[in-house]
Amino acid sequence: MMGTVLVVLIAAGIGYYYYNKTHPPTPANNPPASQPATPGNPPSSGSGGGGSAALVNLQNFNAHWQDENGMLVLTTASWANNSNVTITSATLQCRQFNGAGTDLSEYRWTLNGPTNAGATSTYSNISLGATASGMTRVDCEIIHVKPAS
């Protein structure tokens, strides 16, 4: 009997810990439900790796984000390939910031194409991960591309 009670208490404790880690409290000054994810700083010279850095600079990504039950979700997104080559995939990096501009977390996601030269691909409901406590802004940018062979 005592063993069963002990196992139940341990399981409840682990469940409580997991729930609180994956569902942080929503800040009181929560931003509106949907705001555009603005492009971050321009990619550094190392972005894209090797010769694809120029291709990275020709990509444009726009999205609207939303906090859905503690998860950061890009509800609508578009990737515009402004280069003259087809891109088979791109690595998207999204960062969460608080009101003071502190970088709270970073998520990376692969956008699968192909996205033809001069074309735009659209996506919806990309669940990136947990919303950071105190987050007020999300900046997303394409940091790497894989051109078609």
Query: Which is more confident, 141 or 1?
Result: 141
Q: In what order do the strands lie in the sheet with 87-97?
A: 103-115, 87-97, 137-147
SS3 98: coil
Give the residue-averaged pLDDT of 89-106. Answer: 94
Whole-angstrom CA distances from 13 to 6, 7, 22, 69 are 11, 10, 14, 21
Please report, for the chain, the start and end positions of each structural domain, with discontinuous segments joined by +.
Answer: 34-147
For the ranges 1-5, 48-52, 116-120, 121-125, which has the lowest average pLDDT? 48-52
The Cα 131–Cα 26 span in angstroms is 9
CB 61 within 8 A of CB 45: no
The topology under which CATH files domain 34-147 is Immunoglobulin-like (2.60.40)
Residue keyed to tokens 């009181």: 28
Each residue's pLDDT tens digit, 35-54? 444 444 333 333 444 447 89
Nearest to 77 by CA among 109, 45, 41, 55: 109
Q: What is the pLDDT of residues 135-146, one digit of tens each?
A: 999 999 999 999
